[in-house]
Homo-oligomer: A and B are copies of this chain.
Amino acid sequence: MFIDQALLRAVQIAPNRIATKYLHRSQTWAEFLNTVQCVASGVSGLGVKQGDNIGILALNSDYYLEVLFASSWGGAPIVPVNTRLVAREVAFLLDDANVEFLFVDDAFVGEIESIQSHMKNKITCIYMGENICPPELVSYSQLKKSEPVPSAEVGGETLAGLFYTGGTTGRSKGVMLSHDNIMSNAINAAPVMDYGVDTVYLHAAPMFHLADMASTYAVTLAGGQHCFAPRFIPQAVGETIEVEKITHLLLVPTMLNALVNDPSSLKCDFSSLRRMLYGASPMPEAVLLKAMEVLPSVGFVQGYGQTEASPLITTLQPEYHVLSGPKLTSAGQAALGVQVQVMDLNVQEVPRGSVGEICARGGNVMMGYWGLQDATNEALRGGWLHTGDMGYMDEDGFVFLVDRAKDMIISGGENVYSIEVEDAIYKHSAIKECAVIGIPSDKWGEQVHAIVVLRDGASLDEAELITHCKEYVAGYKCPRSVLITETPLPVSGAGKILKNELRKPWWEGLDKAVN
């Protein structure tokens, strides 16, 4: 399969429908195809050859989408850069991926010099901002004036892009996804979300992240429309949903939590919304219940996966989003083309109900990690993708995540899964945000520690919170210490709470590795 297929299908079934709408601009799928052909031509004119990796460091926009499809059209794999990285990290990533050409927008044009100063390779930057192109950069609008070229017809098991994992857990690794990987995922994802030509999708989560990028290809394959929120600001997202009559979007749990707790967003008209996909990190049940209450006519779909799986592994369909439903806290069942098993350390399936590592096989599973054969062998040992996530499967094939393996707290010899404790904490009405981590304890090895942000005007003390938790979880799982703070919790570019940053001050200088 070719990523081009997704684009060509949109052009075939919806040539005169809107492909992208952003700021004052919009273009149909027929026009979008022409844009892609011109950008691919321009990129080739810069000296980019088939197989050369090209980078993009930008906020969400229609241009971002153009560059993604121009990359596959011309056969030059894309390297989307996490927008939260500091210059030194970006430099490492671009060097690692041998990127010599980088697309940047107004948000990052000012960082080029600093990035370059940390790099071994020399990069040429293409300016895709909204202002006049700085003289030392290549102008994207000029590039677009190139003559359209036919597709390089690159596809199948050829590399389509390098997608660096968050960088939140040690050294950032470049996940190699092929055309087949990305198209397999798009075909799995499109029906789950019921994407069609009447879909109006809002890119509200960052486009560099696979959670959103899954929809990039699936919405295109279905001939739907793309809209863009450059940054996640709850009120702005609410207003865009109202104005553009958004039908589908993806939010990560922290975003969904922010949206349904933002009074100004809730004044917006959400009646066009049909489906909301959430995922990329565990969803506290209380947040989901709140969202279901605030948006009763939306069909919620949970997608569980990871970059290494392009990303979808399991999905929980709207019909299981029932108050007090037995599957509500599940991550759902295997996506159609993905085989899922919960494994023990010997890559043998564990009995239903037993916790093990969630593993997956299918056309969506990555080629490997760029330049990291050992890590690849480890992740794909026994022919299965090892997600590193712990969970169990019930008798109906629903996967329940207990926690990221590396996020488990071992306290007094007992395993404590953070999400369980966070779920309990979120049940308290005073809580706006929380994170549970393990901190050093002479007595317990690790002890359960909670960091919480209260809602405006709410009050709560440590003892009250611990008492509250005892109603929901065993005593050994309850926080032994609580930090109540007004500082929002640190989140990654993808909106995941950065637990490593929360852990760092506690563990520095100690033996335990900071993950």
List 14 interface pairs A-B (beta carbons < 8 Å), by A numbering: A5-B339, A5-B362, A8-B339, A12-B333, A12-B397, A13-B397, A15-B395, A15-B397, A16-B395, A187-B188, A187-B336, A187-B337, A221-B336, A363-B363
Contacts of A186 in B (CB 8 A): 336
Contacts of A396 in B (CB 8 A): 13-15
**A351 within 8 A of partner (CB):** no
A362 contact set on B, CB distance < 8 A: 1, 5
A393 at the interface (CB under 8 A from B): yes
Check B188 against A363 for contact (C-beta < 8 Å). no
Q: Which of B15, B190, B334, B337 contacts A183 (CB 8 A)?
A: B337
A191 within 8 A of B: yes
B334 touches A9 (CB 8 A): yes
A407 → chain B closest CB, angstroms: 26
Chain A, 1-29, CB within 8 A of any chain B CB:
1-2, 5, 8-9, 12-16
**Interface mask (A186-219 → B, CB under 8 Å = 1, otherwise 0):** 1110110000000000000000000000000000
Interface centre among A222, A334, A337, A340 (most CB of B within 10 A): A337
Q: A397 to chain B: which residues have CB within 8 Å? A: 9, 12-15
Q: Shortest Cβ distance from A514 into chain B, in angstroms?
A: 36
Cα-based distance from A222 to B335 in the complex (angstroms): 10
A179 CB → nearest B CB, Å: 11
Q: Which residue of B has the minimal Cβ distance to A362? A: B1
A9 to B188: give the CA distance in the assembly, Å. 14
Given the complex, which residues of B lie within 8 Å of A183, measured CB to CB?
A: 337
Contact partners of A333 in chain B: CB under 8 A: 12-13
A334 to B221, CA, bound (A): 10
For A221, list chain B residues within 8 Å (CB). 336
Residues of A in contact (CB 8 Å), total: 32
Q: Within 8 Å CB of A5, what residues of B?
A: 337, 339, 361-362
Within the complex, the shortest CB–CB distance from A314 to chain B, in Å, comes to: 11
User: Can you name the residue of chain B whose Cβ is closest to the Cβ of A399?
Assistant: B12
**Chain B, residue nearest A194 (CB):** B191
Bound Cα distance from A500 to B342, whole angstroms: 55
Q: Report chain B residues within 8 Å CB of A16.
A: 395
Which single residue of chain B is at the shortest CB-CB distance from A334? B9
| A334-B12 in contact (CB<8A) | yes
A95 to B165 CA separation, bound complex (whole angstroms)? 54
Out of B8, B14, B339, which one reaches A9, CB within 8 Å? Answer: B339
Q: What is the distance, in angstroms, from A19's C-beta to the closest C-beta of chain B? A: 14
Interchain CA distance A2-B222 in the complex, whole Å: 26
A306-349, CB < 8 A from B: 333-334, 336-337, 339-340
Is the Cβ of B1 less than 8 Å from the Cβ of A363?
yes
Closest approach, in angstroms, between the C-beta of A456 and any C-beta of chain B? Answer: 43
Question: Which residue of chain B is the closest to A180 with respect to CB atoms?
Answer: B363
- Which A residues between 443 and 461 are near B, CB-CB below 8 angstroms? none
> Which of A180, A221, A339 has its CB near the most chain B CB atoms (within 10 A)?
A339
Q: A188-B187, A191-B191 are in contact. Are A337 and B395 (CB under 8 A)?
A: no
For the A-B complex with A12-B393, A13-B334 known, give 13 more contacts whose Cβ atoms are closer than 8 Å: A1-B362, A5-B337, A5-B361, A8-B339, A12-B333, A12-B334, A12-B340, A12-B397, A14-B396, A15-B395, A186-B336, A190-B336, A191-B336
Q: Which residues of B contact A337 (CB under 8 A)?
A: 1, 5, 183, 187
Q: Mark A366-386, 1 if CB is under 8 A from B, else 0.
A: 000000000000000000000
CB distance from A94 to the nearest CB of B (A): 33
What B residues does A191 contact at CB under 8 A?
Answer: 190-191, 336
* Chain A 382-437 residues near chain B, CB threshold 8 A: 393, 395-397
The chain B residue sitting closest to A2, CB to CB, is: B339
Chain B residues in 8 Å Cβ range of A1? 337, 362-363
Between A12, A16, A190, A222, the greatest number of chain B beta carbons within 10 A of the residue's beta carbon is seen for A12
Q: How far is the CA of A337 from the CA of B395 in the complex (A)?
A: 31
C-alpha gap A458/B13 in the complex (Å) = 43
Rounded to whole Å, the gap between the CB of A258 and the closest CB of chain B is: 32
Q: How far is the CB of A317 from chain B (nearest CB, A)?
A: 9
Chain B residues contacting A190 (CB-CB under 8 Å) are 191, 336
Q: Which residue of B lies closest to A337 (CB)?
A: B187
B residues within 8 A CB of A363?
1, 180, 363
Which chain B residues border A15 with CB–CB below 8 Å? 395-397
> A430 to B14, alpha carbons, bound, how many Å?
41
- Closest Cβ neighbor of A395 among chain B residues: B15
**A327 CB, nearest partner CB in chain B, Å:** 11
Please give, as numbers and ranges, the residues of chain B lying within 8 Å of A14 by CB-CB distance: 396-397
Give bound CA distance, A13 to B320, whole Å: 14
Which 6 A-B residue pairings sit nearest by Cβ, starting from the closest?
A: A191-B191, A13-B397, A12-B397, A187-B337, A5-B339, A187-B336
A16 to B394, CA, bound (A): 13
